[in-house]
């Protein structure tokens, strides 16, 4: 994409900016007889401010790579289509001053809803361009040191978010933590009381070591990880903000504390009433009652969380159902076995995460349940391939397949399907997964039937899943390629299915 084409993109953004300003002025006037219009005008005002930031960042661009070009052209087409609709609605909205009864009724009955739908579409577009500018123009993964990459992420929040990302790490005394739940996958629901006697809900995740030498060797990585996660932003990334870490000389673990955002809580066990961290592993055991649009939203949000981990130059290394946790809104106080819709996923399992600049640990366990979600070249005791971002992308593909097939004829959670997966090599495991996409029966059950992933989720979803599972071992995943081929396509599918509220 040349500088001239970038100017064209700036032009359509500026056009949207002008239409948004005009819409704000007109809608503000409607507050005289509809107070609820104030919220809509405020949302558009926030969108306008973000558009201003985007124009500034685009003007700093000179040349784009082919991956960036594909991404921008896709977004350009969506914004141009949105502009046509927005222009028609703005020009067709009569002035509120001296409005007749018919005009007021039309606003209350349908015009306001149309503008709310357009604002949601604009907000969706802004969220996409926010993430894309973070990955492409700020270039975090090209920075040499963790500190430089971290600063890029913080800068992206400050430049394109209404909230300021700040770090407030604390030295935590384990005595300040009260455990509220049983041990679940190396993490627990807890209550943390700080030095000012203020309490908040936290989730503590533990990294356990075989001996003191291993723990001491991991200390620098822990310090870097905690610093990175202290800039977590649940709304933007699906990653909880880290409050700090704790340990003591006489124990072989580090604990990392994540704060539960206000208005959210963990799940309440339906039988005991006690706190429980509900994971995707738990949900997959229950019959699905979630719509296609909810599954697509889940997939897009999970991909976004992984992208942000990669953006700052880290790899996760442990993307599987038990490490995808869900929080619920506090207002949903009734105790039920599972939430009525798929909540926003929260990525956990940082016990093996590392900076890509650090030496890769080439050892692993050979637990078959874990190997299902690992790239075929990462399934040995020793001498595994060095872990790269491509291996995280492969793990995401397995999750996309499992969530997509959930509820199909004969479906079993992958970790429960011993006949299909247990005792197989990495390449055979991958073949089984590819067979599920196509609707082929398992080698262990030739009479089994399912109609394949496309029947459940559609052809576009199948293409994305195959891209993830087919990614080459030595193929380096640029952030821009991940955006275009995984996250952006999932998010566009999600937004076309339903206009979600903010």
Query: What pLDDT sits at residue 161?
Result: 38
Token pair in block for residue 171: 């030295």
Per the structure block, which two tokens stand in for 451?
A: 């109609």
By mean pLDDT, which of 150-154, 186-190, 258-262, 391-395 is the weakest?
150-154
Over range 97-116, report the average pLDDT. Answer: 86
pLDDT of residue 126: 81
> What is the radius of gyration, based on Cα positions, of the chain?
24
Residue position matching structure tokens 């509820």: 407
Calpha distance 403→410 (Å, rounded):
14
Q: Is the pLDDT of residue 233 over 90?
A: no
DSSP code at position 111: I
Higher pLDDT: 199 or 270? It is 199
Greater model confidence, 365 or 72: 72
Confidence of residue 447 (pLDDT cuts 50, 70, 90): low
User: Given a cut of 60, is residue 151 above it in pLDDT?
Assistant: no
Q: Are 157 and 127 in contact (CB under 8 A)?
A: no
Residues with Cβ < 8 Å from 187, sequence gap 6 or more? 203, 204, 205, 206, 277, 325, 348
170-497 sits in which CATH class?
A: mainly alpha
Please say whether the beta carbons of 291 and 338 come within 8 A: no
Distances (CA, A) of 264 to 200, 235, 260, 270, 343: 11, 12, 7, 18, 11
Give pLDDT tens digits for 316-338: 889 999 999 999 887 654 555 56
Of the listed ranges 34-38, 157-161, 300-304, 406-410, the one predicted with least confidence: 157-161
pLDDT at 453: 94
**Alpha carbon distance 187, 204 (integer Å):** 5
Pairing of strands 242-246, 170-171: parallel
260 pLDDT higher than 90:
yes
Quickly name the fold that domain 3-137 has: 1.20.5
SS (H, E, C) 335-372: CCCCCCCCCCEEECCHHHCEECCCCCCCCCCCCHHHHC
Judged by average pLDDT, the poorest of 168-172, 240-244, 307-311 is 168-172
**Averaged pLDDT, 470-475:** 70
**Least confident among 280-284, 365-369, 395-399:** 365-369
| Among 364, 363, 353, residue whose Cα is nearest residue 389 | 353
Beta bridge partner(s), residue 355: 314
Q: Mean pLDDT throughout 460-474?
A: 86
Q: Does residue 185 carry a pLDDT above 80?
A: no
159: confidence class by pLDDT, cuts 50, 70, 90 = very low
* pLDDT band with cut points at 50, 70 and 90 for residue 460: very high
Phi and psi of 71, rounded to 5°? -65, -50
Q: pLDDT at residue 222 above 60?
A: yes
Distances (CA, A) of 137 to 155, 165, 365, 381, 383: 12, 19, 38, 39, 36
Judge whether residue 381 has pLDDT over 70: no
**Res 218 pLDDT > 80:** yes
What number is the average pLDDT over the span 460-471? 92
Give the span between the Cα atoms of 370 and 172, in whole angstroms.
32
Q: How far is CA 372 from CA 346, 354, 476, in A?
A: 21, 21, 22
What mean pLDDT is predicted for residues 471-484?
64
For range 473-477, the mean pLDDT:
60
Structural contact between residues 401 and 420, judged by C-beta atoms closer than 8 angstroms = no
Residues 6+ apart with CB under 8 A from 290: 298, 341, 342
pLDDT digits (tens, 9 = 90+) for 278-314: 899 999 998 888 888 899 999 999 998 888 887 777 8
On the question of pLDDT at 412 being above 80, the answer is yes
Mean of per-residue pLDDT scores for the chain: 80
Q: Quote the crossing angle between the two packed helices 146-160 and 37-59, to the nearest 10°.
A: 130
Give the residues across from 245 on adjacent strands: 171, 256
Residue 118 · residue 81 · CB < 8 Å: no
| Residue 39 and residue 119 in contact, taking contact as beta carbons nearer than 8 Å | no
* DSSP-assigned states of every residue in 6-46: HHHHHHHHHHHHHHHHHHHHHHHHGGGT-TTHHHHHHHHHH
Q: Kindly state the tokens that stand for 424.
A: 């197989």
Question: Residue 164 has what pLDDT?
Answer: 40
Q: Is the pLDDT of residue 403 over 80?
A: yes
- The pLDDT value recorded for residue 160 is 39
3-state secondary structure labels for all residues of 203-241: EEEEEECCCHHHHHHHHHHHHHHHHHHCCCCHHHHCCCC
Please provide the DSSP assignment of 364-424 as one string.
----HHHHTTS-GGG-SSS-PPPP-HHHHHHHHHHHHHHHHHTTSTT---GGG-HHHHTT-
Q: Determine the average pLDDT of the residues in 187-216.
A: 89
Q: What's the angle, vertex CA 306, arms to CA 224 and CA 300, rounded to 5?
A: 155
Q: CATH 1.10.510.10 in the chain, residues?
A: 170-497
Rounded to an integer, the average pLDDT of 9-35 is: 88
495 contact partners, CB below 8 Å, separation of at least 6:
121, 124
CA distance 370 to 368: 5
Report the distance separating Cα 258 and Cα 242, nearest Å.
4
Of 48-57, 315-324, 402-411, the poorest mean pLDDT is in 48-57
Mean pLDDT of 30-47: 86
Contact 256, 318 (CB under 8 A): no
What pLDDT, on a 0 to 100 scale, did the predictor assign at position 71? 72
DSSP type of residue 284: T
């Amino acid at each position: 994409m040349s500088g001239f084409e970038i100017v064209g993109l700036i032009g359509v953004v500026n056009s949207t900016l002008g239409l948004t300003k005009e819409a704000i002025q007109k809608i503000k006037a409607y507050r005289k007889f509809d107070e609820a219009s104030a919220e809509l005008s405020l949302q558009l005002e926030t969108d306008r401010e973000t558009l201003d930031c985007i124009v500034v960042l685009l003007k700093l661009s000179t040349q784009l790579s082919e991956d960036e070009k594909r991404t921008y052209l896709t977004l350009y087409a969506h914004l141009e289509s949105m502009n046509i609709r927005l222009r028609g609605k703005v020009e067709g909205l009569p002035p509120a001053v001296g409005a007749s009864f018919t005009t007021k009724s039309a606003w209350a009955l349908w015009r306001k809803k149309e503008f709310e739908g357009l604002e949601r579409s604009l907000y969706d577009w802004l969220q996409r361009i926010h993430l894309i500018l973070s990955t492409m123009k700020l270039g975090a993964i090209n920075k040499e040191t963790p500190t430089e990459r971290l600063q890029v992420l913080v800068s992206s929040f400050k430049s394109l978010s209404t909230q300021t990302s700040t770090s407030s790490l604390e030295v935590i005394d384990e005595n300040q933590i009260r455990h509220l739940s049983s041990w679940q996958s190396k993490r627990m629901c807890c209550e943390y009381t700080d030095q000012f006697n203020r309490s908040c809900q936290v989730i503590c995740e533990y990294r356990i070591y075989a001996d003191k030498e291993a723990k001491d060797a991991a200390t620098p990585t822990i310090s870097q990880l905690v610093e990175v996660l202290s800039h977590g932003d649940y709304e933007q990334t699906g990653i909880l903000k880290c409050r700090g870490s704790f340990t003591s000389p006489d124990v072989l673990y580090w604990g990392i504390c994540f704060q539960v955002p206000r208005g959210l809580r963990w799940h309440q066990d339906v039988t005991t009433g006690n706190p429980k961290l509900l994971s995707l592993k738990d949900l997959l055991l229950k019959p699905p009652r979630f719509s296609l649009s909810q599954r697509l939203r889940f997939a897009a949000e999970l991909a976004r969380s992984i992208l942000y981990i990669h953006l700052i130059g880290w790899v996760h290394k442990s993307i599987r159902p038990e490490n995808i946790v869900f929080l619920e809104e506090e207002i949903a106080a009734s105790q039920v076995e599972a939430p009525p819709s798929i909540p926003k996923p929260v990525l956990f399992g940082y016990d093996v995460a590392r900076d890509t600049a650090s030496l890769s640990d080439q050892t692993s366990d050979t637990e078959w349940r874990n190997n299902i979600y690992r790239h075929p070249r990462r399934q040995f005791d020793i001498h595994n391939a060095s872990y790269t971002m491509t291996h995280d992308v492969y793990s995401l593909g397995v999750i996309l397949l499992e969530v997509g097939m959930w509820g199909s004829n004969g479906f079993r959670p992958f970790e429960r399907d011993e006949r299909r997966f247990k005792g197989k090599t990495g390449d055979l495991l991958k073949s089984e997964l590819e067979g599920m996409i196509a609707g082929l029966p398992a080698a262990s059950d030739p009479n089994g039937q399912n109609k394949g992933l496309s029947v459940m989720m559609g052809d576009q979803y199948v293409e994305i899943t195959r891209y993830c599972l087919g990614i080459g071992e030595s193929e380096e995943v640029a952030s821009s390629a991940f955006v275009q081929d995984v996250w952006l396509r999932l998010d566009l599918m999600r937004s076309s299915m339903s206009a979600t509220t903010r």
